[in-house]
Amino acid sequence: MSIWSYANPVKFLTLSARVQPVLWVLSLAFVATGLIWGFFGTPEDYRQGATVKIIYLHVPAALMAINAWFMMLVASLIWLIRRHHVSALAAKAAAPVGVVMTVIALLTGAIWGQPMWGTWWAWDPRLTSFLILFLFYLGYIALWEAVEDPDTAADLTSVLCLVGSVFAVLSRYAVQFWNQGLHQGTSVPVATGGRSVDDVFFYPLVLCMIGFGLLFIALVFYRTGTEIRLRRAAALRARAGRAA
Amino acid sequence: MRALLIRDLTLALRAGGGFGLGLAFFLIVTVLVPFSVGPQAELLQVIAPGVLWLGALLACLLSLDRLLALDFEDGTLDLLVTAPLPLEAALSVKALAHWLTTGLPLVLAAPVLGVLLNLAPPGYLWLVASLALGTPALSVIGCFGAALTVAIKRGGLLLSLLVLPLYVPTLIFGAEVARRGAGGQEVTTPLLMLAGITCAVIALMPFASAAVLRMGLR
């Protein structure tokens, strides 16, 4: 039994129905614990005051905004190579979730930046590349909506996702070259193991990151199921139309 | 291939081909900027390289939906897809024709408009150099966008939305070359990056464009 058997929509829906309740409960538990612990259980930062607590929304959302695009990239590749419809629909389902995560990251960043940096927005490399990522998401979703034939739409958006990934990375380095940053370095560098966040803030943050990750997976499962059922409903309607 | 190039050039140059459209748009943007930001010479000198690059980019964007749409409407595109000539080559030629009729005039017009914006004297050479290097990339990337949206009715707005983020790296490095050149600074790094982007997209983009065009017309 390989993972490809879940390319069958029926199998996928069965699996998704079985794991979804678990995912929902776990993700909500993680997010709720992380946020409540973070908001009420941690002290205020000695320089930033209470504003430091926005990190529990900002960092996980930013993380998932990038990972959602990465997941769409993988799903697009699977669609282009193996032509599994579920994969294309999963990519389609992930895009709006990713766009919401991007907006959360941008908004919470602006709300935090106003008292801390004294500005809502700065043309900093990280901020700019997130804005560009946001534009890529918008273009991707708009292209899905604009093409009528679903298979053609899946093809075109997949290639756009591939090309867009290359240009997103390119833009990242371009804006870094163009402007030196105001945004601080990453708070949780995985590669080096060191981190600039104290343990007090770190544990609730990890809970939130896990929670957001699970929430994303649950949402993608849910939305992919919706897309599959929509596709079925369209097929049934077409068949009924032919019979009548 | 040569026949296709000559055909595209002739069509673009004849009346109604939209040859002057990009150039006129470039002129309008550049002339209107002093009216909107005020006529201070120092201010204009600072923003001139950026404004000229932006004008060139928008003029290029404006002409993109003509790149494939007319051929799609009269069926030429279907013939090209089935022709013995590889579609990748055909699209490269079409991008080349687009550059010759849109990008090249912009490059040649830029120094004249630079005078209007009080561009610093050392900047002229680098402005022309950066535009000459960068506009081919704009044409090739635009060709991908046009191929992506050609089969969509009223795809013009979508085309702009899709191409906009793809143009960002080219614009950053191109405008950086022009700005540093005008300020008398070292330009080697952004110039090399710009050249790298242009070479890479010329080499790789036609494959992506041809792939999406085949999918779109299927």
User: What phi and psi values does residue A49 have, to the nearest 5 degrees?
Assistant: 70, -145
Mean pLDDT of B174-181: 88
Q: Does the beta carbon of B217 lie under 8 angstroms from any beta carbon of chain A?
A: no
- Residue among A81, A170, A129, A178 nearest B205 (CA): A170
The per-residue pLDDT for A191 is: 47
- Per-residue pLDDT tens for A26-83? 999 999 998 888 888 777 766 666 777 788 888 888 888 889 999 999 999 999 998 8
Closest CA of chain A from B130, distance in Å: 16
Selected residues 85-144 of chain B with any CB under 8 Å from a CB in chain A: 144
Mean pLDDT of B188-211: 91
Q: CB-based burial of residue A10 (10 Å sphere; 0-12 exposed, 13-18 middle, 19+ buried)?
A: exposed
The per-residue pLDDT for A223 is: 93
The span from the CA of B129 to the CA of B49, in Å, is 12
- Cα Rg of chain B (Å, integer): 18
Q: Does the beta carbon of B173 lie under 8 angstroms from any beta carbon of chain A?
A: yes
Mean pLDDT of B13-36: 80
Residue A174 to residue B212, Cβ atoms within 8 A: no
- Per-residue pLDDT tens for B94-135? 899 889 888 888 898 888 888 888 888 888 888 999 999 999
Are the C-beta atoms of B201 and B140 separated by less than 8 Å? yes
Region of poorest pLDDT, from A63-67, A141-145, A183-187, A228-232: A183-187
Please, which pLDDT band fits residue B152 given cuts at 50, 70 and 90?
A: confident
The per-residue pLDDT for A180 is: 62
The per-residue pLDDT for B131 is: 92
Position A9 pLDDT exceeds 60: yes
Position A138 pLDDT exceeds 90: yes
The span from the CA of A71 to the CA of A220, in Å, is 10
The per-residue pLDDT for A185 is: 59
Q: Tell me the CA distances in angstroms from B20 to A10, B62, B108, one per residue in order.
A: 57, 12, 13
Q: Which residues of A65-92 are buried (b: 16+ CB within 10 A; e: fewer)?
A: bbbbbebbbebbebbbeeebbbbbbbbb
Residue A156 to residue B164, Cβ atoms within 8 A: no
Looking at beta carbons, which residues of chain B come within 8 Å of A147? Answer: 151-152
Mean pLDDT of B26-50: 87
The per-residue pLDDT for B17 is: 58
The per-residue pLDDT for B1 is: 74
Please, which pLDDT band fits residue A184 given cuts at 50, 70 and 90?
A: low
- Give the angle B110-B112-B116 at the CA atoms, nearest 5°: 105
Q: Does the beta carbon of B148 lie under 8 angstroms from any beta carbon of chain A?
A: yes
Per cent of chain A over pLDDT 90 is: 33
The per-residue pLDDT for A242 is: 84
The per-residue pLDDT for A214 is: 93
pTM: 0.84
The per-residue pLDDT for A3 is: 74
Looking at beta carbons, which residues of chain B come within 8 Å of A170? Answer: 169, 197
Please, which pLDDT band fits residue A115 given cuts at 50, 70 and 90?
A: confident
Looking at beta carbons, which residues of chain B come within 8 Å of A139? Answer: 158, 161-162, 164-165
Looking at beta carbons, which residues of chain B come within 8 Å of A135? Answer: 161, 164-165
The per-residue pLDDT for B8 is: 77
Position B18 pLDDT exceeds 70: no
Residue B178 or B18, more confident: B178
- Cα Rg of chain A (Å, integer): 20
Mean pLDDT across chain A: 84
Q: CB-based burial of residue B73 (10 Å sphere; 0-12 exposed, 13-18 middle, 19+ buried)?
A: exposed
- Per-residue pLDDT tens for A164-177? 998 888 877 777 77
**List of long-range contacts for B28-36, beta carbons under 8 Å, 24+ apart:** B29/B54, B29/B55, B29/B58, B29/B59, B30/B55, B30/B113, B30/B116, B30/B117, B31/B113, B31/B116, B33/B117, B34/B116, B34/B117
Are the C-beta atoms of A29 and A223 separated by less than 8 Å? no
- Per-residue pLDDT tens for A87-99? 899 999 999 999 9
For the ranges A227-231, B75-79, B115-119, the maximum mean pLDDT occurs at A227-231
Position A151 pLDDT exceeds 70: yes
* Domain ranges (residues) in chain A: 55-183+212-239
The per-residue pLDDT for B15 is: 59
